[in-house]
Amino acid sequence: MTVISVLPGDGVGQEVVPEALRVLDDLGLGLEFDVLDHVNAGAYLATGTALSDDDVDRIRRSDAALFGAIGDPRVTSPDYARGVLLRLRFELDLYVNHRPVSLPAERLSPLKDAKRGAIDCVVVRENSEGLYAGIGGALRQATSHEVALDVEVNTHSGVSRILDYAFGIARSEVCMVDKSNAVPNGGRLWQRCWADARRRHPAMVTRHLYVDAAAMRLVSDPAGFDVIVTNNSYGDILSDLAAELGGGIGIATSVNLNPSTGFGLYEPVHGSAPDLAGRGVANPVAAILCAALMLGDLGHTAEAEAVRAAVARTVEAGRCTPDLGGSLGTAQAGAAIRAELG
Amino acid sequence: MTVISVLPGDGVGQEVVPEALRVLDDLGLGLEFDVLDHVNAGAYLATGTALSDDDVDRIRRSDAALFGAIGDPRVTSPDYARGVLLRLRFELDLYVNHRPVSLPAERLSPLKDAKRGAIDCVVVRENSEGLYAGIGGALRQATSHEVALDVEVNTHSGVSRILDYAFGIARSEVCMVDKSNAVPNGGRLWQRCWADARRRHPAMVTRHLYVDAAAMRLVSDPAGFDVIVTNNSYGDILSDLAAELGGGIGIATSVNLNPSTGFGLYEPVHGSAPDLAGRGVANPVAAILCAALMLGDLGHTAEAEAVRAAVARTVEAGRCTPDLGGSLGTAQAGAAIRAELG
Ligand SMILES: CC(C)[C@H](C(=O)O)[C@@H](O)C(=O)O
Ligand SMILES: CC(C)[C@H](C(=O)O)[C@@H](O)C(=O)O
């Protein structure tokens, strides 16, 4: 029995994840859903804890997790996201954040030059260390003399394993992105691990960019990228940028993955989108494509392809939400995809 | 006598800075140039030092500095940029990195939607702390068990002064960008200083974005921004992205500024561009517009405007380098601008 942990979370997560579950149900694969509906900002505000040790155990025992979004305008503390999404990434050692971007149709590119704009790449974001480590502190906190310190941690094993993952999935090129001309310690380590990884994979074409140049290059030549590998913070930024160039965040997927255990937490790149939430207008495609990504990783390759094809046909036909050029609401867009699935 | 320190630096810096000096010469303002031609990667490679204590004193005694670019494929150590550009930023306390972006002509926008694409904003980058502090170290360095630490430092005074600068120059809105949902200590401090700054400037419209959302929004609605204020690292990335959306880095300017002393180090956003260097094809517009920015700050308002207008006319007429749609080389493009100046 395959068990899927389901964490809709906040905002539009509550609206799009059910659409993904409906698609999965229709496929009749007998997946069991363990819905952790209480993991959200409401619980955090009421009790101070959104995700308990028991929850983490339940998720750990499942075969994969489907995540919605996390974030709420009422919550300003970093403790919330750190206690849920980052906790799961760290405790389950989901050290790869794999974020594929592929422009589905020329009309969805925000760029004038359609050929150059046809992005089809994967951002491989290091997901277990870097600036997200949460190590640091504050001197004279909450005074007008405060000094706040956050430590960006990079380890040889952490950098090496993410580079190897990137080389392992690359088709034509690996582009490593860092800021080694300015950030000294992590910069030197990434450069050394990069040189070693290139020696381990001598047949692969490689490129190196500083992060500022990478952001520019994503706009000026997005189609030139295959795999971009970078640290946690730059990966956060560049993957959102790539998603926007690849048809918008309404369709962008990601998986937080441990390649050794095979466990994945599947997460739309869009956030909780408080401005859209509760209005039934959010695009369910990212959540549904996350389900497809999960199916593929669980071995249901044909079903994964069928879902992707159904999504592509509805988008092509304009049976989709306004961000993709249609006029449907969340439930209608989900139904259109299920209708295509037959 | 107004003395300008001139640091052409590396790569195309050597080609574009002389064009800016020719424009300044033609204006007949009697500026004196103190050229520090030895501050480059060659010197760093030969002696280990590119910028000496004496050089820093010379620059400090001048009225402003015109900088080219720094960076060379032969130099992989962060010590080089840290010893030159970052040293000047830190020792002269040039805590504002003011990076204006304004699309000069619709045809130069990479975006389909020209109206939305008409970016006209300033990225205000904190320039004296953050991840650039250079504080940290490495455990078990150069072994396969290395742990590298770089400390992102944010101080109450550092964050407050950059926010106040942003409010001071804003026309319609200040948008603060951070990652306070994930990076705990600096995140909390930026949020607190932000709340305080908003109280000090109650009439200003404000917005807050997480950095990943800001990168997306720059693509989806660039014209919606007025002033973006953010930390050193995010400012590095977002200003390059904004420049690319605003006509490319061939025209993007910046000033590293201490608003109290008035001292500014003017720097094109483009780097040393090793692939273009030595071929006489680099665009001199950014360096020339940096000179105009400097003239304005030195009180030569009419001359600054005249240079800007001359640049605009040559770009309009296609008498410019290929990145702007023309076919001229560096020297010809510079000459075209000087001809317009009459
Ligand atoms: C050369 C490099 C260290 C520098 C920076 O990151 O500040 C450059 O990219 C810039 O933006 O001026
Ligand atoms: C919610 C936030 C902490 C998270 C991150 O920055 O990792 C999100 O932006 C993401 O990319 O999954």
Q: Does residue A120 lie within any of the structural domains?
A: yes
Is residue B131 located within the same domain as residue B241? yes
Max CA separation in chain A (angstroms): 64
Q: Evaluate whether residue B105 is within a structural domain.
A: no
For chain B, how long is the longest CA-to-CA vector? 64
Cα angle for residues A287, A288, A289 (degrees, 5° grid): 90
Asked whether residue B52 is assigned to any structural domain, the reply reads yes
Mean pLDDT within B186-211: 98
Q: Which two tokens stand for residue B33?
A: 């140039």
Average pLDDT over residues B9-26: 98
Same domain (yes/no): B114, B241: yes
Closest CA to A340 of A299, A312, A298: A312
Same domain, B123 and B226: yes
**Cβ–Cβ under 8 Å, residues B251 and B286:** yes
Residue B104 lies in a domain: no
What's the pLDDT band for B342 if we cut at 50, 70, 90? confident
In a domain, B59, yes or no: yes
- Do A202 and A146 sit in the same domain of this protein? yes
**Measured in whole angstroms, how far is the alpha carbon of residue A38 from the centre of its chain?**
22
pLDDT confidence bin for A220, thresholds 50/70/90: very high
Give the model's pLDDT for residue A204: 98
Q: Which two tokens stand for residue B115?
A: 């109206």
| Residues flanking ligand 2, CB < 6 Å | A 70-71, 81, 85, 236; B 181-182, 212
Q: Do B62 and B77 sit in the same domain of this protein?
A: yes
| Same-domain pairing of B313 and B227 | no
Reported as a pLDDT band with limits 50, 70 and 90, residue B117 is confident
- Choose among B81, B138, B216: nearest Cβ to A249: B216
Say whether B181 and A71 touch across the interface (CB within 8 A).
yes
What is d(CA A222, CA A112) in angstroms, rounded to the nearest whole number? Answer: 12
- pLDDT > 80? residue B303: yes
CA A259/CA A255 separation, integer angstroms: 11
Q: What percent of chain B has pLDDT over 70?
A: 100
Q: What is the mean pLDDT of residues A279-290?
A: 98
Give the predicted TM-score (pTM) of the model. Answer: 0.97
Count of pairs with CB atoms under 8 A, one residue in A, one in B: 218
- C-alpha distance from residue B8 to each of A99, B45, B65 (Å): 40, 17, 10
Q: What's the pLDDT at B116?
A: 73
- Report how far ligand 2's centroid is from the alpha carbon of A338 (Å): 29
Residue that is last in its domain, among B197, B212, B245: B245
User: Residue A109's pLDDT is what?
Assistant: 95
d(CA A166, CA B294): 44
What pLDDT was estimated at residue B281?
97
Nearby residues of A205 by Cβ (< 8 Å), 6 or more positions away: A172, A173, A174
- Of B329, B287, B295, the C-alpha closest to B311 is B287
Q: Is residue B146 one of the residues assigned to a domain?
A: yes
Chain B nearest-CA distance from A109, in A, is 8
pLDDT for A342 beyond 90: no
Concatenating the DSSP letter of every residue in A197-260 gives HHHHSTTS-EEEEEHHHHHHHHHH-GGG-SEEEE-HHHHHHHHHHHHHHTT-TTS---EEE-TT
Q: Which of A245, A278, A312 is the last residue of a domain?
A: A245
CATH number at residue A86: 3.40.718.10
Closest-CA residue to B241 (of B96, B123, B86): B123
Does residue B66 sit in the same domain as residue B7? yes
**In angstroms, what is the span from residue A236 Cα to ligand 2's centroid?**
7
Q: What is the mean pLDDT of residues A6-12?
A: 98
A105 within some domain: no
Mean pLDDT for the stretch of residues B201-226:
97
Is residue A275 included in any domain, yes or no?
yes
**Index of the ligand 2 atom closest to the CA of residue A127:** 7
Condensed to tens digits (0 to 9), the pLDDT of residues A96-137 reads 999 999 999 999 999 998 777 799 999 999 999 999 999 999
Same domain, A222 and A120: yes
Do B147 and B53 fall into the same domain?
Answer: no
Report the separation in Å between the CA atom of A38 and the middle of ligand 2, taken as the mean of its atom positions.
19
> Stretch A33-40: mean pLDDT, rounded?
97
pLDDT of residue B122: 98
| Same domain? B118 vs B241 | yes
Question: Quick one: A132 exposed, middle or buried, by C-beta within 10 A (0-12, 13-18, 19+)?
Answer: buried
Residues of B in contact with A153 (CB under 8 A): 147-149
- Tell me if residue B144 falls in helix, strand or coil: coil
Q: Which amino acid is at A182?
A: A
What is the spatial distance between Cα B187 and Cα B179, in angstroms, rounded to a whole number? Answer: 6
Same domain? B269 vs B322: yes
Distance, in angstroms, between A115 CA and closest chain B CA? 12
3-class DSSP assignment, residue B329:
coil
Q: The domain containing residue B39 runs over which residues?
A: 1-99+252-342
What is the tally of structural domains in chain B?
A: 2
A206 and A255 assigned to the same domain: no
By C-alpha distance, the chain A residue nearest B189 is A148
Taking an 8 Å cut-off on Cβ atoms, the answer to whether B79 and A184 are in contact is: yes
* Residue B16 Cα, gap to closest chain A Cα (Å): 19
From first CA to last CA, the distance across chain B in angstroms is 25
Q: At which of B245, B263, B297 does a domain end?
A: B245
A123: closest CA among A106, A93, A102? A102
Residue to substitute in B126, B236, B255 for testing ligand 1 pocket (most ligand atoms within 8 angstroms of CB): B236
Alpha carbon distances (Å) from B275 to A110, B8, B74, B271, B282 = 28, 17, 13, 11, 10
Give me ligand 1 centre to Cα B236, in Å.
Answer: 7
